[in-house]
Every structure is written in structure tokens, then in C-alpha cells.
Structure 1
Amino acid sequence: MNEGYPVSHESLNNSRAAHSSKVKNTQRPRAPKAQGSTHHPSSVIGTRSSYPRPYQVVSEPLEEAFKSWVVSLDSYIAQNQVSSWESLSFAINLLRCEATAWWNVEKEARWNDEEPIYTWNELKIIMSFKYVPGFQWEEEE
């Protein structure tokens, strides 16, 4: 017989129960999920801000479309308490078509040569240079 291995159905069940109780006692407690902090479309029913639409370059005036998208996304992020580290990823996941292609090129360039983008506010500034004709950035003092 294999020493150390359960040999009967009863000893196998006892072994599983002992292991299960050890595993339960070593698991970390989970923090309760904050109300309104999720940004999944099915969870926003009844929230004050509607789920922002994806951003794609369209034939309507580019500046207006971009600014409208930014305002809707900023509003959603603020009202649904999307964390700052999630908001960048959230915004990137809303990019479509040409905007996605632009982001992939920008991300690659930043991986190799330039400072990476870490926040949604940084992404807004970079996208403004691309999608708002004549955009000028002024440093705050």
C-alpha cells in the first residue's frame, strides 16, 4: 500500500475535510465591494450618469465629437467613482477604429522613446493634440 495516502472512502473524505478547513482558514478576507465603484455596463442601471459611448473618429466636426466624448467620460468617472488607475484603462477600452490604431502607435512610441501615459488626464491632453485642431497646452503654475 501507499503509505500516507488514504486507502478507504472514509479516510479520503476525512482527508478532504481536513484540507478544506485548512484552506478556508488561510484565505484572506475579501473587502466589501464599494457601491457605485464598478463600471460594467450592466451595473450602471439607476446611476446618475449613463455609460459613455465608445470614441471613434467620425465625419462630424472632430473637435466637437472629441470634446463631447471627454465630457461624458469625465462625468461618468466622477459620478461612478471610477478610481484614477482604472479610468485610464477604461478610457482606452472605449477607443474604436482609427482611435484604437492611433493609441497602439502612441503606446508603442512611448514604450520605446517617450514617457508613458499613466493617467486619464494625461491621455486627454495627448488626444487633444491629435483631435482638437490648434490645441495648445499651458502648464499650470
Structure 2
Amino acid sequence: MGRFCVKYPRPKELDTRRAHGDSFTRMEKHSTKECPKSQGYTCCSECGSEGYFFKDCRTEIKKCMHCNGPHSCRAMRCPVRKAEQKRKQERSRQVKEDLSTSFVQATQTATNPHSVPIGIAAADSTTINFVRRVDKT
């Protein structure tokens, strides 16, 4: 399993975001090789200091870059991180639901070209009019 980089803004940028009402920093996960920061950029996810990774952190004081709480940026107890994870799960569920519906529609149309598409309600539930497809020769 490869290493992953979590993108956090610099402390000054974070203070600017908070001053403008944006308390959440983007929690993008990407491989270290694909990190948009320069290859030499390092940031500790335990204390938020630049210049080293969490494995080399010597301080006992934790500081979350998301909420300034006394925990690591990676802690699941962070309320900001929990909210973001919930948002991502909901988005993923919605995408899966949309793909599933699209697949059902595509399958239904391919199997029976005269069927009524999903999501279209008939005017009278007892009577459904089918349109016959006529190919021109």
C-alpha cells in the first residue's frame, strides 16, 4: 500500500480562510507522488508544523488544522472531518444510485424498446399506451 498525502493549507492561509468564514480545509487524499505541492514540501499532520512528517514529530501537543482542536488532523473525532466524511459518503451513495437507475433504464430499453421509461408516470395507472417504433426502409 502506497503513502498518501492529505492536503492542508499553511497556517496563515488557514487563518485567512477562517476570517472569511471557511473553517474547513480540503481533505483531498492523493498519493505522495501526485501531490501538487513541490516534492520537498512536508507538513506534520499531528502538530501542523512544516518541515517534517508525523513520524518525526517530537511534540506532545496536537493541533488540528481543521478545527484547531487538541487532536491530530487525522483524528476521526474531529467534528469537521466527520462532517466531510458524511458528505462524501452521501455523495458516493447518490452517484451509485444514479448509476444504478441509469443501468436499469438502459437494460429495460434494450430488452423491451416499447416499454415506458422509469420515472414517467402514466396518466391513468390502468391504461398505458405504447408507442410502436417504425423503421423506415
Larger RCO (CA under 8 A, 6+ residues apart):
1
**Structure 1 or 2: larger helix share?**
1
TM-score range, shorter chain: under 0.3
| TM-score, L = length of structure 2 | 0.22
Structure-1-length-normalised TM-score: 0.22
